[in-house]
Chain A
Amino acid sequence: MNAGINYPALAVLIGLFLLVTVMGFWASNWRKGAHLESLDEWGLGGRTFGTLITWFLIGGDIYTAYTFVAVPAAMFAFGAVSGFFAVPYTIILYPIIFIYMSRLWSVSYRHGYVTAADFVRGRYGSKELSLAVATTGILATMPYIALQLVGIQAVLEVVGLGGSSSVIAKDMPLFIAFALLAAYTYSAGLRAPAVIAFVKDGLIYLVILVAIVYLPSQVGGWARVFEAAQSKMTSLNAAGRPVGVFIPSAQAYWAYATLALGSAMALFMYPHSITATLSSRSRNTIRHNATILPAYSFVLGLLALLGWVAIAAGTKPIGLDGRVNAQLVIPQLFEDFFPGWFAGVAFAAVAIGALVPAAIMSIAAANTFTRNIYREWINPHATHAQETNVSKIVSLLVKGFALVFVLTLDKQNAINFQLLGGIWILQTFPSIVFGLYTRWFHRWGLLAGWAGGMLYGTIVAYNVINPATGNHFAGSLSLIPVIGQMGYIALTAFGINVLVAAVLTAILDVAGVPHGHDETTTEDYLADEGDPRIEKHRGSVAPVGG
């Protein structure tokens, strides 16, 4: 790579970055509601977003720097199982969320819930279970935000920034980018990422279209790309094993399918996905979106293939420290083949693609902290203004933690950060999704199942060791007990979780341990825009009606 700084690219990158910064600050005046001080306004954009904005918001949420950097990097380094599973994952995602997210929207609309843990609290009448769901949500979001930082870092490194030996100068651009993000998220709340998402998606679609048409022709066409990928993946490494996977063999079927299914089930348990869903205007907004969101999956698949285009192009992703870093492969590919200014546009797409989800994630984690930890356990009589203020401050803290996270863990496998979070977050699935359909499960059974799943998942993930570096948490696959195949740890942990919850529920019911108070009724799960909200004993709660 070029040793120096790519000035045309850097200029375009800074220009586009300033543009979204201005938009982010301006967003606080956009579609302003009447109840400025409530968490509904800051944290859910007033629950007024229609199909189009929700499409951009959820798209901005799901298709992140993870998409742009880590998926092609995994394709480049390890092949189809580690990388291309993202395609079936984001396809089956939509039928899955179609089934239950509209129910969650309805009951949340009816009862003014802002987070999943709010729902769990109302459904099971259990502060403890709600705390478990809230804590897991916050815990799982941290590495996800960190992943966005890895994306920005990769871009900055290829542009030529951050090569200084001084620790402060090295991470300075990242700090500045994050400080600006923190500032406009603080002032505009969810409206900031909603506005920026338009620019982000515009840039991403532009870059992908150009890349997918132009790059393969430069390296000899698609047939040549697949040839190069096959020969790299089937060649043997130093240990005498294949480098990666071109097309999954029989041993990898379970891994591929469980990664796709587990990730799809996990994604909409994250606070940020729920925030984007609940900010929509009506029950059908989310279902409409489930039918049009797959457009992004197509783009994601093309992006994944760019990892193999990079193999054919002979891209050398070498960091400023002189070591190979697969995470740099896509920015490096762009820099090698595009003129400086367009490389800048592509880099901006990656960087802004990281800012939008980072903003939504920090808002969602902050909402969760405020509603389910601060109000529940610390200050039960908090006013709406106090709630909003706590959320704003926590959104800053969360970003700070994410910075620490990214500077202390193994960056080479950014994708595993997200997969580790996925293991944890999937353990809240029974409490949330089963709860949308049935009250059969006992609150203590669910809590015990959650604890079992978390414990199993964390221990097993810890024991996955990178043979080259000896690092723990080196992957998300492990042997599935009974079935005896390699599979996604999260899904195995989920199985244990459900088993424990079901057995304990049966025992607790026989023992006559009471279930908690359920404040919801069957019809609440089908409420739609315009239906009256449930009056709560908390003064002027949510603004009524769509």
Chain B
Amino acid sequence: MNHVERDVDTSTAPPANKALMTVACFFLALPIVALLWVSSYARVEPTLAGFPFFIWYQFLWVFLCAACTWAAHRTILIARPRRRLSARSATGKGAGR
């Protein structure tokens, strides 16, 4: 059986480290900005093993993006430790259908 804390406010999120959450957001935004900025990579040179820059640069971002997402994942795990939730009953109008 889970240990249940009864004196937490259910209307708030568990506390999180704001600075670390900002870092995580940065990691997540990086690949999105990079790939939507098409003019930064829509060219042929420099080619790599015959591949135009346009092609290999986007392939490169597959790995960079995976690394960024992984970094964000690790950061968030540290930034917001898990808080166990309590049992609650859905009451009030509408909830019962």
Contacts and interface: CB of A to CB of B under 8 A. Distances in A.
A341 interface: no
A509 interface: no
B38 interface: yes
A523 B27 CA distance: 24
A538 to B, nearest CB: 7
Nearest to A92: B32
B90 A523 contact: no
Contact of A521 (B10, B35, B80): B10
B66 A291 contact: yes
B96 A536 contact: yes
A260 B90 contact: no
B32 A528 contact: no
A99 interface: yes
B54 A247 contact: yes
A257 B62 contact: no
Interface stretch (A3-11, A221-229, A349-357): A221-229
A398 B84 CA distance: 40
A11 to B, nearest CB: 36
B85 A247 contact: no
A521 B11 contact: yes
Contacts of B92: 517, 519
Contacts of B31: 91-92, 95
B62 A298 contact: yes
A63 to B, nearest CB: 13
Interface string B24-65: 000111011001111100111000011110110011011101
Interface string A242-256: 000001111011001
Contacts of B6: none
Given A525-B13, A535-B90, A223 B32 contact: no
Interface residues of B, number: 57
A143 B88 CA distance: 41
Contacts of A288: 73
A87 interface: yes
Contacts of B70: 291
B34 to A, nearest CB: 9
Nearest to B68: A95
A253 B42 contact: yes
A10 B62 CA distance: 35
A260 B12 contact: no
Contact of B12 (A96, A523, A530): A523
A465 B32 CA distance: 31
Nearest to A224: B50
Contact of B85 (A87, A257, A527): A527
B82 A528 contact: yes
Contacts of A91: 31, 35, 58, 61-62, 65
B49 A532 contact: no
A188 interface: no
A291 B59 contact: no
A122 B94 CA distance: 8
Contact of B73 (A98, A221, A225, A294): A98
A423 B82 CA distance: 37
Contact of A535 (B44, B82, B89, B93): B89
Nearest to B66: A294
Given A248-B42, A527-B85, A535-B90, A260 B69 contact: no
Contacts of A98: 28, 69, 72-73
A323 interface: no
A523 B10 contact: yes
A226 B88 contact: no
A222 B50 contact: yes
Contacts of A322: none
Contacts of B11: 521-523
B73 A287 contact: yes
A80 B54 contact: yes
B97 A380 contact: yes
A94 B73 contact: no
A301 interface: yes
Contact of B86 (A99, A248, A287, A532): A532
B50 A526 contact: no
A248 B62 CA distance: 20
A410 to B, nearest CB: 29
Given A294-B62, A535-B89, 19 more contacts: A91-B61, A95-B29, A95-B32, A95-B65, A98-B73, A110-B85, A221-B50, A226-B51, A290-B73, A292-B66, A297-B65, A517-B94, A522-B12, A523-B8, A523-B85, A525-B13, A526-B80, A532-B4, A537-B95
30 contacts: A95-B65, A98-B72, A99-B28, A110-B85, A221-B50, A222-B49, A225-B50, A252-B38, A253-B38, A256-B42, A257-B38, A290-B73, A291-B66, A291-B70, A294-B66, A297-B62, A517-B92, A519-B95, A522-B13, A526-B80, A526-B83, A530-B2, A532-B4, A532-B87, A535-B88, A535-B90, A536-B90, A536-B96, A536-B97, A537-B90
The 10 closest A-B pairs by CB, nearest first: A517-B94, A223-B50, A222-B50, A537-B96, A532-B87, A88-B35, A95-B28, A291-B70, A253-B38, A531-B85
Interface of B: 2, 4, 8, 10-14, 27-29, 31-32, 35-39, 42-44, 49-52, 54-55, 58-59, 61-63, 65-66, 68-70, 72-73, 76-77, 80, 82-90, 92-97
Interface of A: 80, 84, 87-88, 91-92, 94-96, 98-99, 110-111, 122, 125, 221-223, 225-226, 247-250, 252-253, 256-257, 260-261, 284, 287-288, 290-292, 294-295, 297-298, 301, 305, 380, 516-517, 519, 521-528, 530-532, 534-538
